[in-house]
Copies of this chain bind each other. A is one copy, B any other.
């Protein structure tokens, strides 16, 4: 039997996506050229089109795939119940870990939003909002429970998310701080930032 039916099967397609991710991360979507991408993968420019629709579709696909995985993983993690503070710590831990481990996907999903076509943009923004809603709900629950003092959950959530997401611009797995250390540090900060001080 040959290749499993249904599997894309193409090692080349995967290589293109990997290289595309890397190049967009490094140079930006506009600055990355398909020539570069082809060279990276060892193909001629024209051959790329056996594996992608257009440059724009490649970008969307990379971001969409990432957002799907991100939302699924978050859902998995937040399924478990706990106190609002526990939930917040869980969220922070998840977010930082994901941002540290998938630096590139995460980064381009922020920074290249404006390079998406309007249709694609709409799709991704909706997913991002769903993600934000999870944190907003945690903050809201914690406030109602009296554990947090959050007057504006949305704005507060934006602040926390920005703080956490910044990690992917400077984190170095071989650096001074381990992922766990960063998670602990940022967990404390997040909790401190919203905790009720009676």
Residues of A within 8 A of B (CB): 26-28, 30-31, 111, 114-115, 151-152, 155-156, 158-166, 169-170, 177, 182, 185-186, 188-190, 192-195, 197
The residues of B that contact A30 with a CB separation of less than 8 Å are 28, 30-31
Tell me whether A185 and B166 are in contact (CB under 8 A): no
Min CB gap A142→B, angstroms: 13
Main secondary structure of the interface of A (DSSP, over half): helix
CA A28 to CA B159, docked complex, whole Å: 24
Tell me whether A185 and B151 are in contact (CB under 8 A): yes
The residues of B that contact A156 with a CB separation of less than 8 Å are 185, 189
Tell me whether B195 and A28 are in contact (CB under 8 A): no
Tell which of B27, B114, B162, B193 touches A27, judged by Cβ atoms closer than 8 Å: B114
Tell me whether B177 and A159 are in contact (CB under 8 A): no
Min CB gap A101→B, angstroms: 18
